[in-house]
Structure 1
Amino acid sequence: MTTPQNPSFTTQIVHADRRGGAEQGAIHQPVHTSVQYGYDKVEDLIAVFQGTAKGGFNYARQGTPTTAALESMVTQMENGRGTIAFATGMAGICAIFLTLLKAGDHLVASQFVFGNTNSVFGTLADLGIEVTLVDVTNAANVAAALRPTTRMVFVETIANPGTQIPDLQGIGAVCQEHGLLYVVDNTVASPYLFQAESVGAGLVLNSLTKSIGGQGAALGGAVTDTGRYDWSRYPNIFAAYRKGDPKGWGLQQLRKKGLRDMGATLSSQAAHQLALGAETLALRMDRTSATALALAQWLEQHPAVARVLYPMLPSHPQHAFAQKHLKAGSWLLSFELRDPGQCLAVCNRLQLPIKATGLADTRTLIIPVAHTIFWEAGPQVRAAMGIADGMIRLSVGLEETQDLLADFAQALQGA
């Protein structure tokens, strides 16, 4: 197949399967359900096992042609070197931490991370991996937290639910200076709105369930190696994987330990569903970002609303970072009511937003944060993360903007 040179984002993605050579001229990569993959010569099978073959499959726990096609698509999106698909975004996060860190290591991470990620930090501490949480909106805080045992820095492009944005470029410079692995969770922004390799991230995580899949129909996660980190400097690569080009060492270890050993494997059926959703990523992100901005501007003027958190509002504390790094503000919006006691009543009066957890569906989702997804964290952790009792989180969907505005107008009457 011939294509124009330097195709745009969506053009590149919708033709990804065809460029990859889908069988029998198929427009999309077929769903490969086989668990085992055979070879005419045992030497070829050995080459796949030992990682010296270019491509090839041996057992579906480490990937299939269908998951490989999705991985290639995400690699293109992130302008990376390679990608590994996982069963969920959390599986990808755990694979990064548990296969690349060991007892005695130190991790510096954002204090504003997703609740489940914060829970994993507790598990790491039990395993002897020290974690320091800092306010990453200032790179100086990251630099001050470093120790001789620090191996990795972890941030989210846009934090959930408080929408804090790190000093992405400044932290990248700190990691570069000290030879640290910089890991960015790009789930909320997506590869369309932000390219993490541009700030020096070595690994980029995406929950495929959310922005990339976009329809709430399949779970998945992905870890992309941007090629920006020198793996020959990383002390925790196992001897078995210190062979050949060092550029491949990180992903090799993640695939062997995260998929082969831990079994966090994405099914071919889910990979196919996620790849179909990925083709409309840019269209959905443009639409939901525009609607979210309009709703944020409207809410900010409403007398019942104390504060609105959306990166593209001039009132946002990291608005300058958002303008510098993001094409648009994404679908995540949070706001606080002046009367926290009205939080549940307002949610119940809304007719269009679905009262459900989850993010980046085609339908708008709403949830009271302190009562649900951050209830287990407790008031002290919530306070440190800027989560007020009256905070409501929205994942803005594809509904018409005027319909959502009308619904919020009636729900906030008398609040």
Structure 2
Amino acid sequence: MKNKGFTTRLVHADRVINKPQNGAVHQATNNSVLFAFDNAQDLVDVFQGKAAGHVYSRSSSASSVSLQNILCELEEGIGAVTFSTGMAAISATLLSLLRAGDHIIMSQFLFGNTSSLASTLQGLGIQISYVDVTDVQNVAAVMTPVTKLVYAETIANPATQVADLSAIGQLCEENKMLFIVDNTMTPANIFSPKSVKASLTIASLTKYVSGHGNVLGGVVIDTGLFDWRVFENILPMYRSADTQQWGLTQIKKRGLRDMGATLSPEAAHSISIGLETLALRVERICQNALRLASYLHGHEHVRHVYYPGLASHPQHYIARELFAGYGGIVSIDLVEKIDPLAFLNELNLVLCATHLGDTRTLGLPVAQTIYFENTAAQRAEMGINDNMLRFSVGIEDVDDIVADFEQAFAALQ
């Protein structure tokens, strides 16, 4: 189905790739924790990785593998590993691949929980340089002989800075460094990290991929572009067989098996169902977000709008080159005379909630919630003002979304 359209491939992916039994169009959910073998040698071969199969559901199951196969196909990768949450995928990947004394470069605009994890890594002896990733020169300036990787998000949450992904990918390739791209904000139908030479793609499946606010999940996908033979942190026991699989094997063994953040079979099945409508939902979300951002841009009660789809956005031209849509996050700074919390309380259609990528439009005050643990100085470095509101635009009729904002502004006049 390589020559078919994105949604056509998605709708038929489970049936075509995983070939469920009895003519089913979805892989059945398998809740077994253990897997029995008639021949003891078969168990040994699967356990040692000499044959395909499952030995214990913490490490793998038919349900998780089916979802991994679909996600890997969409990203044109060579393998994928799913986790119970997006943060589990990030934690497992970094903790599996890094050692004390390593140096890594990360975006200074990191999502709050990723930033918190980074501080934990520093406590374990990993050196981190935080830079403005909208310009590759900032990345190049802090490289050292022990720099192992660069970690960047495509569109930052909540101030929507867009990383200079193509240039960073080129820099990493030239210097034999891993390039890890968090693609949560720009799923596969609007952006392919492989196109910018990403080594690994990480995403929270909780957000746009599953899309309905009813399941948690995360994934890491190997694009096949990185030569793991030059990555000295791969342990000897995993330096065998297919060299392209060394990285994912270590992540599976050290990050999934040992740390145990396993995606449940029920969650894997739910995510695969939501995944089928990914393109339809994200296209509608991007259209709605651009319309809402355009309405808010220049509004008398709005001091600033953060959205890459606006020509006024500092990285608009980077986003235009990279993405087939500008995402669903629209953030705003209200004028000082309007209290941001009072404005949220006046919205009727928009839900006040700490989530994004949902079918419903959601809003929250940024500094007081998801970045509450950061200092004022840290928030300023990330481009977050104390009165910033973040909106994750949904798939509702856009006129209804805009009308809700209009009535909220009128109520506070």
TM-score by length of 1: 0.97
Amino acid in structure 1 at the alignment position of 2:153: E
Give the one of 14, 24, 27 matched to 1:26. Answer: 24
How far residue 230 of structure 1 moved from its aligned partner, in angstroms, is: 0.5
Aligned residue number for residue 285 of structure 2: 288
How far residue 335 of structure 1 moved from its aligned partner, in angstroms, is: 0.8
Alpha-carbon deviations, 1:133-160, whole Å to 9, x = none? Answer: 0000000110111111100100001110
Alpha-carbon deviations, 1:196-225, whole Å to 9, x = none? Answer: 011010000010000100001000000000
Amino acid in structure 2 at the alignment position of 1:26: A
Q: Which moved more, 1:98-107 or 1:75-84?
A: 75-84
Q: 1: distance between equivalents of 2:300 and 2:45?
A: 66
Whether 1:390 and 2:383 are equivalent positions in the alignment is no
Q: 1: distance between equivalents of 2:311 and 2:40?
A: 62
Q: 2: distance between equivalents of 1:225 and 1:122?
A: 25
Q: 2: distance between equivalents of 1:285 and 1:132?
A: 33
Amino acid in structure 2 at the alignment position of 1:305: V
Whether 1:159 and 2:156 are equivalent positions in the alignment is yes
Aligned residue number for residue 132 of structure 1: 129
How far residue 52 of structure 1 moved from its aligned partner, in angstroms, is: 2.1
Structure 1 pair 341/381, CA: closer, same or farther in 2 (3 Å)? Answer: farther
Q: 1: distance between equivalents of 2:29 and 2:375?
A: 43
Q: 2: distance between equivalents of 1:138 and 1:45?
A: 51
Alpha-carbon deviations, 1:302-341, whole Å to 9, x = none? Answer: 1010111111110111001110000011111111111175
How far residue 301 of structure 1 moved from its aligned partner, in angstroms, is: 2.6
Q: 2: distance between equivalents of 1:341 and 1:93?
A: 37
Q: 1: distance between equivalents of 2:223 and 2:171?
A: 17
Name segments (4+ residues, structure 1) moved above 6 Å: none
Whether 1:182 and 2:179 are equivalent positions in the alignment is yes
Whether 1:97 and 2:91 are equivalent positions in the alignment is no
Give the one of 211, 216, 220 matched to 2:217. Answer: 220
How far residue 192 of structure 1 moved from its aligned partner, in angstroms, is: 1.3
Give the one of 244, 247, 252 matched to 1:250. Answer: 247
Amino acid in structure 2 at the alignment position of 1:256: K
Aligned residue number for residue 65 of structure 1: 62
Aligned residue number for residue 295 of structure 2: 298
Whether 1:358 and 2:330 are equivalent positions in the alignment is no
Task: Work out whether residues 293 and 313 of structure 1, in 8 Å CA contact, stay in contact via their aligned partners in 2.
Answer: yes
Amino acid in structure 2 at the alignment position of 1:35: V
Aligned residue number for residue 46 of structure 1: 44
Task: Work out whether residues 369 and 391 of structure 1, in 8 Å CA contact, stay in contact via their aligned partners in 2.
Answer: yes
Give the one of 387, 393, 402 matched to 1:405. Answer: 402
Structure 1 pair 306/86, CA: closer, same or farther in 2 (3 Å)? Answer: same
Q: 1: distance between equivalents of 2:319 and 2:239?
A: 39
List alignment gaps of at least 5 residues for structure 2. none
Q: 2: distance between equivalents of 1:250 and 1:257?
A: 11
Task: Work out whether residues 341 and 390 of structure 1, in 8 Å CA contact, stay in contact via their aligned partners in 2.
Answer: no
Q: Which moved more, 1:41-50 or 1:117-126?
A: 41-50
Q: 2: distance between equivalents of 1:15 and 1:57?
A: 25
Alpha-carbon deviations, 1:87-146, whole Å to 9, x = none? Answer: 000000001110000100011000001000000111001100011100000001101111
For residue 192 of structure 1, give the secondary structure of its aligned residue in structure 2.
Answer: coil
Q: 1: distance between equivalents of 2:44 and 2:158?
A: 47
Q: After the TM superposition, which residues 101-112 of structure 1 pair with which residues of structure 2 at under 5 Å, given as runs?
A: 101-112=98-109
Aligned residue number for residue 172 of structure 1: 169
TM-score by length of 2: 0.98
Task: Give RMSD over aligned pairs.
Answer: 1.0
State the identity %: 47
Task: Work out whether residues 340 and 390 of structure 1, in 8 Å CA contact, stay in contact via their aligned partners in 2.
Answer: no
Aligned residue number for residue 193 of structure 1: 190
Amino acid in structure 1 at the alignment position of 2:47: F
Give the one of 234, 237, 259 matched to 1:237. Answer: 234
Amino acid in structure 2 at the alignment position of 1:259: L
Task: Work out whether residues 301 and 338 of structure 2, in 8 Å CA contact, stay in contact via their aligned partners in 1.
Answer: no
Q: 2: distance between equivalents of 1:398 and 1:345?
A: 24
Number of aligned positions between the proteins? 411
For residue 145 of structure 1, give the secondary structure of its aligned residue in structure 2.
Answer: coil
Q: 2: distance between equivalents of 1:165 and 1:409?
A: 29
Aligned residue number for residue 16 of structure 1: 13
List alignment gaps of at least 5 residues for structure 1. none
Aligned residue number for residue 347 of structure 1: 344
Aligned residue number for residue 276 of structure 1: 273
Alpha-carbon deviations, 1:4-49, whole Å to 9, x = none? Answer: 5511111111111111111211111110000111222222222211
Amino acid in structure 2 at the alignment position of 1:50: Q
Task: Work out whether residues 89 and 208 of structure 1, in 8 Å CA contact, stay in contact via their aligned partners in 2.
Answer: yes
Aligned residue number for residue 309 of structure 2: 312
Aligned residue number for residue 35 of structure 1: 33
Task: Work out whether residues 213 and 278 of structure 1, in 8 Å CA contact, stay in contact via their aligned partners in 2.
Answer: yes
Q: 2: distance between equivalents of 1:340 and 1:176?
A: 49
